[in-house]
Structure 1
């Protein structure tokens, strides 16, 4: 496994590409909180998506739910607006936005696109949340789903299905790390965004199923 140095962060290069899970110390976490963040808003079929990050990586993705998916055509052109007024957008933030644009317009291509580095404390270090999200990102591909129980087994903690649900709720970068692909053992889609975005989860699963079939 090759570790690439980028500024204050260590980015792990795996056989699956640049997954961006930062292996950081407490000092790096403190530096992360002091980095200069920028925000880009992306108009998508889900409504407005805010992508926030710094030169080291993407911090958060927020789906504002300001429009129901049914009210915006999947064929509608995607556009982006820079909210902050930086002289230059960081390459990692730009990479994250480009990946999201491809996800909605040409979803079948996302498997070959590089992901941005991630620079959020929840994805740093060897925590349960970080491990589970890393397994999800690495092993559950576009158009696939996995149960909470099965994901717990894949992460080496077979009795932690309920804790896996908590890890999904703490995912700071939904879509990039596809917590919407984790469903109930019964086959029901289960909650999304603490139950407020269940309709978005259904839309995303349908979008991926159709993209895979197409």
Structure 2
């Protein structure tokens, strides 16, 4: 059987997300559904793109529930093919051990993953995470604050996601239906 790549989209407060999935699992998530994002996913995986209605239904439903505040744990199959060994080890540790409402520092994640890499390298791993949100790189913070975030429009998206999850307190004007500014 030839492996294939299928796309699905979900509208969220952060915009229309593009999710890519193989028969193995979710392989990428992009904060913008654009032709360039679709081409990039197809090129990186090297797989033929198919129209596979239904394949992404569980992932898209999970994302809708997450943004509604109803889903606390993503239990989706992950296809790690777009990650290298160290990145896979760090991201797997993140996915399996840092739960909704929790944060971890870059350095502590490096220690927990057993990779013995510096916090800055962990930051680079987070910046290269092909499956943000589902593999929750937004939960990784600096020892002295939020740290950076390359997803969506940047650190304000990270702040919004951490507020949704209750990791940081909401401001008086925060609203689950309002996009980050």
Q: What TM-score, normalized by structure 2, do the two folds share? A: 0.74
Q: Which residue of 2 aligns with 1:104?
A: 67
Root-mean-square deviation over aligned CA pairs: 3.0
Q: How far apart are 1:36 and its partner, in Å? A: 2.3
Q: 2: distance between equivalents of 1:149 and 1:205?
A: 19
Which protein is richer in strand relative to its size? 1
Q: How many residue pairs are counted as aligned between the two chains? A: 156
Unmatched segments (≥5 aa) in structure 2:
35-48, 171-181
Work out whether residues 90 and 110 of structure 2, in 8 Å CA contact, stay in contact via their aligned partners in 1: yes
Cα gap change, 1:87 to 1:114, in 2 (>3 Å): closer
Q: Does 1:95 align with 2:65?
A: no
**4+ long deviations beyond 4 Å:** 210-213
Choose from 119, 122, 129 the match for 1:171.
Answer: 129
Cα gap change, 1:194 to 1:89, in 2 (>3 Å): closer
Cα gap change, 1:155 to 1:210, in 2 (>3 Å): closer
Q: Secondary structure at the match of 1:110?
A: coil
Cα gap change, 1:197 to 1:167, in 2 (>3 Å): same
Q: Which residue of 1 aligns with 2:19?
A: 51
Choose from 147, 158, 170 the match for 1:190.
Answer: 147
Q: Which residue of 2 aligns with 1:38?
A: 6
Q: What TM-score, normalized by structure 1, do the two folds share? A: 0.64
Q: Which residue of 2 aligns with 1:64?
A: 32
Work out whether residues 150 and 158 of structure 1, in 8 Å CA contact, stay in contact via their aligned partners in 2: no
